[in-house]
Structure 1
Amino acid sequence: MKILPRAKMPHFKTFTTQKFAARAQSARVRAAFRLRQTAAAVCLAAAAMLWANPPSLLAQQTAAARQEAPVVDKISYKFEGPKNVSESAVNVHVRLRSGMKFDQKALDQSIRSLYNTGLYEFVEAHRALSNDGKKIDISFTIVPKYRVASVVFKGNKEYSANRLKGQVSTYAGSTLSEIDVKRDADKLREFYQKKGYSLAKVGYSIERNDENGVGAVIFEIDEGQDVKIMQIRFTGDKNAEETYGFWGRISKMLFGEDDPSKIDSIKLASEMKTDTWIPIISHLTDNGRFKEDELQEDIEKLRKFYRNHGYLDVVIDESKIKFEFPDSDEPGDMDIIIDVQPNKQYFVGDIKIKGNKIFTTDHLMYLTNDRYGFRKGDVFSPARVDEVIENLRTFYGEFGYIDTIVRALRRPNVETGNIDLTIDIIESGKYYLESINIQGNTKTKSDVILRELALAPGDVFDLYRMKISEQRLKETRFFDEVTLSPESTNIPKRRDLRIVLKEGRTGNLIFGAGFSTIESLVATVEVTQSNFDYENYDSLFQGAGQKFRLRGTIGLESNQVILSFEEPWLFNRQLGYGIDLYRTDTGYYSDYYSEVRLGALNYLRKRIYELVEARLAYKIELVDIYDVKNNAPYVIKDESGSRSISQVSLTFLRDDRDSYMMPTRGTRFELVQDLAGGPFLGQTNLYRIEARAGWWIPTFDFGKQVFSIVGRAGTVMGYGGKEVPFFEKCFLGGGYNMRGFKYRKVGPIDPATEEPLGGNSFGFVAVEYSIELFNPVRFAVFYDWGFVNENDWDWDPSNYNSDFGIGLRILLMGAPMRIDLGFPLKTGEYNDDGMQFNFSFGTVF
């Protein structure tokens, strides 16, 4: 297209519709004629070129051009700088050889390959053509990089060189880059700061050897003083200015009155990961050291905490945080002073609901005020508002209105000073579940996933049941990530359920160690697979949701081997079947004998109502009492040797605790009945019934205080003219129940040897109140009460024993540690042994 200069552009004219159409048609005709002319000209030109240069001639010209390329004669290498690279190491990357036709592309690739090794600072190729143009010489100029000969750490005392080498990328044999060395020095400084050495300084130096082309990297470390936080104080907010020491904090938590709307220094400290130094405990948990990154995160947590208590305009200026070192004799002891300006506290004003048609305003207000506990006059909390909005959206979703939008419109009320809230609802239609799409289950079978769902195709698409299904899949612990969401379809009022999973590690090989004042030192090796499949060897026996465990322990006082398998869905029904094969060798029960148990346990279990589970089991066991001392009580001597037990058990269990290791809420009820001998044969005839119950009740939010009460009662009796053997009797005492008494020392005791003999009836109650000092340490006070009577069905508590004490509960490396000091209150004639120290700990590594 030819574009005319502006001066020569034609003037626009106004046309009628007919004239414009005629001109357009004429223009199209002329354009088509010019296109045909152009095409004809191109064809003629192509024909002329083919006539003048036929294909055979063109091929000959191309071949001739190739024959004219010079031949590589000599390739030489010139090294400048450090001499730490041989010619052969360079020659490997050069794609030209003497006698080859020279190819510029191959030369470029050779230079690129040399640079890609990262071993060279500079690479250049010089070309020299012979006078006749038939030969060419190539000369490479190469400047190698220095290599790292060694990496040395100086000044490090707290951490070894091997530990520090794991923090840097520079290593012996790597290319030397001062930029990388500087980055490594920064990494080391960050490492020390995260470990609490905020005053640490890290420099570096490089000692180069020009002759060998190597350099020694030296990191010079000044660890500085280990900064321990002695106090965290708050200024600006009068409610939080009062500070409490260790025991003052405990006293405040135990006996102080808690107002959820009020803020004090204990509540603020509990929101922070940064904590004060506590001797011994801080060495175990690494708390109490100053870490700058943690403090920055804590400041944001404090702002959020204040806002959720109605202080929407809170100001915590990081530039005003002070660090003081009050004790010149202890330069590492530091106080942190945080300035907080809470400003005005806001409350909830008028609450209105609009846009609702499906459900009445009165019903939605009832849900908001009563069920969700959000009322006018409450402290305004953004987190509580979000929670109410999500609850209302879930409420609509329970009935299939899954696309309903619920929004909170906040408006400050100038007259009252409160925040008025309008809940705006945009209702959707009702949806049903069409199909279920599962993604990401690379090893877990689809039926294992589907059986955990509370929704099925054809059901009303219930968001609440969708969340339950999501929680069930998470509780299987087969997956690292579980996401359930509605998915659009082409069918009106129908949605698919999309399940996106990321498979997790379900198998473990564990090497562990544990210690307690009862069992002494124990080493453990354990192989577990919680998503086992005995049929699927292609996937390494994974994917069917079965449970497998092989465990072996060896210790100073006990040994154990146990093999367990469970199929939780027998015959595709919610019926579990399991088998345990075991051998235990125990020596800590008594100084007068040792005991070995060899047995097999088969069981069926089924959830019969909501959280209530029933379990029917059969056990065949051989008990061997050996290594009996000559001065042992006669009841022990009489049982020396082996005895078989053939026993059927029926157990009912209900457990809704939030944690098995350290529960803070929930209940656990269990009723156990055992019948051995009689129609089931064996050498032991007994009937046992035992009830166990526990309640864990959270009391106050600050300190996450928990009150718990645990009780047990049971009796065992022989029948058919046979007595209950002593090793099947009831015992109390020790770190697992009566903590103020020695192991098994509550109940009937042989007067001559003071050996516990056990009884046929017992009752036990433990009351405990615990407070989280900081994560993961809890302080506990407890009271234990219990009795063991000689006869069956004897519930006379007159010979009870009792104790009280204090303790610590620490979740360390995924395993619980319990430290208790128990003081007996009411004792018997043979068990007044004074204060008892009980310690138990198990971990994996």
Structure 2
Amino acid sequence: MILNRLTLALAVVFAAQPVFAAEPFVVKDIRVEGIQRTEAGTVFSYLPVKVGDTMTDEKTAAAIKALYATGFFKDVRLEARDGVVIVTVEERPSIATITLTGIKEFSQDDLKKGLKDTGLAEGRVLDRSLLDKAEQELQRQYFNRGKYAVEIKSTLTPLERNRVAVQFDVVEGNSAKIQQINIVGNQAFKEKELLKQFTSTTPGWLTWYTKNDQYSKTRLAGDIEALRSFYLNRGYLEFNVDSTQVSISPDKQGIYITVNVTEGPQYKVSDVKLAGQMLVPETELKKLITIKPGEVFARDRLTETTKAIGDRLGNDGYAFANVNAVPDLDKDKRTVAFTLFVDPGRRVYVNRVNVSGNTKTRDEVVRREVRQMEGAYYDAEKINLSRDRLNRLGYFNEVNIETPAVQGTTDQVDVNVGVTEKSTGSVMLGAGFSSSEGVVLSGSVSQSNVFGTGNRLSAQINSGSVNTVYALSFTNPYYTIDGVSLGYDLYRRDVDATSLSNVGAYKTSTYGAGVRFGLPVNERDFVSLGLTYEQTSLTTYSDSPVQYTRFVNEFGKDNDTVRLDTSWARDTRNSYLFPTKGLMQRVAAEVGTPGGSLQYYKLSFQHQQYIPLSKSFTLMLNGEVGIGDGLSGKPLPFFKNFYAGGNSSVRGFKTGTLGPKDANGDALGGDKRVVGNAEIFFPLPGLKDDQSLRMSAFVDAGATFGPDDRDNLYKTFAFGDLRYSAGIAVLWVSPLGPLKFSLAQPIVKKTGDKAEMFQFTLGNVF
């Protein structure tokens, strides 16, 4: 195209030469002819000749070249008449519209953005060479989705005023599927085991959802790296991927992948030494070394070791510490020794902490979560903790912390905290469904960052067949500069146990108002203290358990409580929804004080720990113990009893039915509760990279016991009275809210226990 344009320009120049060849002349005027859309002033601005200049052959050639270079014109001619230069141009057409037909795989806007990047966009001058680029760009987009049979045809339709309509007719065709993946050269491991490291796969029962059976160059590159990591983590230091071949069937519907590898020998670690400037006691750094002599070499352990040593030095201000592992291979003995060279660099301190991106949130709200202080030595642990605390606020979509060196210094860095804010206010109307409560309607209005102050305000309504809650709450998380929080609550809570089959019938209606304080002990421990006043109205029925009617007859149906709540919690989990490591411990006490007619206490303890078994498998161990009783000679109110059974305690049994029962076989709850769970979490087969879906296999145990009553068969705790179940469960964070369901089979049950194999909850049920 460039060659053709140059040839045309030269032809015009040579054709124009006789006009000016006789004699140069002074330009008296310049006229432009043939323009339709382009302004005459635009043409004048590109001409290297002005009125009063002397026109020569050289200037004629330069003028034609300059006008062609604009890209606005497909033909340019110059003539001279009595000192007047006449510029005659033929404009290129402009693009009026761009239309794409047959598009299903992409949105029109996304494809048009890609076309614009190639230079083809509405309002621009049409260059036919760009049509080829545009077709290639569209083809590339479809190839990335595995649609290799796509057909694209462009059409130009002339319009008035020298404009054209561009239309791309697309026949998408079907996506090509990976029909076969072969690994050649493997001897130590079976091909089936190696293919488990690949995200790319042949068509399966879930690939319609994951699309992992569609070829992607980027995905295959990730798979090759995963294969390399698999071998290096098992001692094959000389492993190499020799070549990768990808072929497509003649009908462009099938993809065949072959990966050729050389495994090499397996190496064991013979020695690990430290060298360089360690600055901290060598014995302390040696404790961070996870790769040991005599073990098969594992790259992930070596990486973990160098990172741990670097982080340890970073905690003492060495922000740019570098730990380099130098291997020494003995190919005859098939061993490798490592020398870890430690270069701490210069110790640095923080000059400024800068906050950006917070257009709504006040600067102080961000800064009070930052644990790295200005003027102090750089501390990597505190910077990571600052990032975690800012993420836990829930005010930001993204938190990015950078530590650039201060220009002109060698021992200073700035801490730049960049945040991307998200909406923190919400008005929600929703519905959930629980196998125990049925349909649950909910609505809430909340703002977790009122006027950018970090204060939280919410009003909530949840309506279920068992629990109905109306609540208004306000929390100031930094009532004091030390992080003491202050909150207020107003609520009404109705409980209708008549909706639960096999549970003693009663109703309660409770109004309450309270104040609460939260006191952070350290970064992981939190103590809370609250005081609440409640009024409770009780309703019993003719079929209610005798224990319930006896309580109402003795203490009346209307009671009040001055309730003191206190708790201590420690949470080191790395995620709220899908944790893979860490623990959560909680000790709580609820006391009905002598200030009210109901006087009692309830104590509970929970210990939950997540233990990573591998990259994909996590073991969760959970234990809960609760005990309660009345005070001042009064019994524990029956509606304060503990219950067990159901999706949140012992699955496979109906909600709240494990433990003491009345003469009719209805569950009464108890003043003691024991629950234990062991659960292994893992990705759903075929969806190992899906962060919204997780599966588990579990064993549950638990029951309630007491109170000391002549009608109660389970007065005191005994291991023989625990119920056990086992099964599988799935948790899916769906667009409608969290969906949790389980399929469980009771292993040990007692007479009168009610089994319920399938249980589920959709949405947030309160």
The alignment partner of 2:188 has SS state of helix
* Separation in structure 2 between the aligned mates of residue 830 and residue 172 of structure 1, nearest angstrom: 75
Q: After superposition, where does 1:269-308 map in structure 2 within 5 Å? A: 269=196, 271-275=197-201, 279=205, 282=207, 285-308=210-233
Q: Structure 1 residues 561, 420: closer, same or farther in 2, change over 3 A?
A: same
* Separation in structure 1 between the aligned mates of residue 123 and residue 373 of structure 2, nearest angstrom: 61
2:358, 2:421 within 8 Å by CA — same for their partners in 1? no
Q: Structure 1 residues 520, 410: closer, same or farther in 2, change over 3 A?
A: same
Q: After superposition, where does 1:731-810 map in structure 2 within 5 Å? A: 731-749=643-661, 756-772=667-683, 773=685, 774-776=688-690, 777-791=693-707, 794-810=716-732
2:538, 2:558 within 8 Å by CA — same for their partners in 1? yes
1:733, 1:742 within 8 Å by CA — same for their partners in 2? yes
2:288, 2:308 within 8 Å by CA — same for their partners in 1? no
* Separation in structure 2 between the aligned mates of residue 556 and residue 172 of structure 1, nearest angstrom: 58
* Separation in structure 2 between the aligned mates of residue 425 and residue 638 of structure 1, nearest angstrom: 74
2:244, 2:257 within 8 Å by CA — same for their partners in 1? no
2:335 aligned partner, one-letter code? N
* Separation in structure 2 between the aligned mates of residue 612 and residue 174 of structure 1, nearest angstrom: 62
Q: After superposition, where does 1:672-691 map in structure 2 within 5 Å? A: 672-679=588-595, 681=596, 684-691=598-605
TM-fit CA distance, 1:241: 1.4
Q: Name the structure 2 match of 1:7.
A: none
Task: Return the match for 1:706 from 599, 606, 618.
Answer: 618
* Separation in structure 1 between the aligned mates of residue 68 and residue 491 of structure 2, nearest angstrom: 63
1:206 aligned partner, one-letter code? T
1:145 and 2:94 equivalent?
Answer: yes
1:605 and 2:521 equivalent?
Answer: no
1:573 aligned partner, one-letter code? D
Q: After superposition, where does 1:486-501 map in structure 2 within 5 Å? A: 487=406, 495-501=411-417
Q: Name the structure 2 match of 1:568.
A: 477
* Separation in structure 2 between the aligned mates of residue 668 and residue 432 of structure 1, nearest angstrom: 35
1:482 and 2:401 equivalent?
Answer: yes
Render the CA deviation track for 1:229-275: whole Å, top value 9, x for unaligned: 7x7664422333153xxxxxxxxxxxxxxxxxxxx43xx62x44335
Q: Structure 1 residues 399, 832: closer, same or farther in 2, change over 3 A?
A: closer
* Separation in structure 1 between the aligned mates of residue 319 and residue 721 of structure 2, nearest angstrom: 63
- Structure 1 gap segments, 5+ residues each: 1-67, 80-86, 97-101, 106-110, 244-263, 535-540
1:433, 1:456 within 8 Å by CA — same for their partners in 2? no
2:97 aligned partner, one-letter code? V
* Separation in structure 2 between the aligned mates of residue 301 and residue 416 of structure 1, nearest angstrom: 27
Q: Structure 1 residues 756, 228: closer, same or farther in 2, change over 3 A?
A: farther
The alignment partner of 2:499 has SS state of coil
Render the CA deviation track for 1:19-57: whole Å, top value 9, x for unaligned: xxxxxxxxxxxxxxxxxxxxxxxxxxxxxxxxxxxxxxx
Q: Structure 1 residues 208, 838: closer, same or farther in 2, change over 3 A?
A: same
Render the CA deviation track for 1:285-323: whole Å, top value 9, x for unaligned: 555554443122221232244334432332224434678
Q: Name the structure 2 match of 1:661.
A: 577
TM-fit CA distance, 1:768: 1.4
The alignment partner of 1:791 has SS state of coil
Task: Return the match for 1:822 from 733, 744, 753.
Answer: 744
* Separation in structure 2 between the aligned mates of residue 743 and residue 375 of structure 1, nearest angstrom: 50
TM-fit CA distance, 1:560: 5.5
The alignment partner of 1:274 has SS state of coil
TM-fit CA distance, 1:474: 5.6
Q: Structure 1 residues 425, 675: closer, same or farther in 2, change over 3 A?
A: closer
Q: After superposition, where does 1:199-278 map in structure 2 within 5 Å? A: 199-206=148-155, 208-209=157-158, 213-215=163-165, 217-225=167-175, 227=177, 234-241=183-190, 243=192, 264-265=193-194, 269=196, 271-275=197-201
TM-fit CA distance, 1:779: 3.5
* Separation in structure 1 between the aligned mates of residue 80 and residue 561 of structure 2, nearest angstrom: 98
Q: After superposition, where does 1:712-727 map in structure 2 within 5 Å? A: 712-719=624-631, 724-727=636-639
1:176, 1:215 within 8 Å by CA — same for their partners in 2? no
Identity value in percent: 20
1:419 and 2:336 equivalent?
Answer: yes
Q: After superposition, where does 1:109-148 map in structure 2 within 5 Å? A: 141-148=90-97
Q: Structure 1 residues 93, 738: closer, same or farther in 2, change over 3 A?
A: farther
TM-fit CA distance, 1:227: 2.7
Q: Name the structure 2 match of 1:51.
A: none
2:78, 2:85 within 8 Å by CA — same for their partners in 1? no
TM-fit CA distance, 1:486: 6.4
2:537, 2:558 within 8 Å by CA — same for their partners in 1? yes
2:167 aligned partner, one-letter code? V
TM-score, scaled to structure 1:
0.67
TM-fit CA distance, 1:665: 1.9
The alignment partner of 2:643 has SS state of coil
TM-fit CA distance, 1:616: 0.4
* Separation in structure 2 between the aligned mates of residue 495 and residue 409 of structure 1, nearest angstrom: 28
Q: Name the structure 1 match of 2:269.
A: 348
Q: Structure 1 residues 148, 694: closer, same or farther in 2, change over 3 A?
A: same
* Separation in structure 1 between the aligned mates of residue 644 and residue 95 of structure 2, nearest angstrom: 72
1:685, 1:722 within 8 Å by CA — same for their partners in 2? yes
* Separation in structure 1 between the aligned mates of residue 348 and residue 122 of structure 2, nearest angstrom: 64
Q: Name the structure 2 match of 1:376.
A: 293
2:604, 2:627 within 8 Å by CA — same for their partners in 1? yes
Higher mean displacement: 215-224 or 479-488: 479-488
The alignment partner of 1:572 has SS state of coil
The alignment partner of 1:661 has SS state of coil
Render the CA deviation track for 1:373-426: whole Å, top value 9, x for unaligned: 233344445554454344444445555566766544334346644334334455
TM-fit CA distance, 1:127: 8.7
2:400 aligned partner, one-letter code? E
Q: Compare CA radii of gyration and give the structure with the larger one.
A: 1
Q: Structure 1 residues 147, 678: closer, same or farther in 2, change over 3 A?
A: same
The alignment partner of 1:647 has SS state of strand
* Separation in structure 1 between the aligned mates of residue 510 and residue 40 of structure 2, nearest angstrom: 69
RMSD: 5.1
Q: Structure 1 residues 103, 784: closer, same or farther in 2, change over 3 A?
A: farther
* Separation in structure 2 between the aligned mates of residue 580 and residue 779 of structure 1, nearest angstrom: 36
Q: Structure 1 residues 411, 458: closer, same or farther in 2, change over 3 A?
A: same
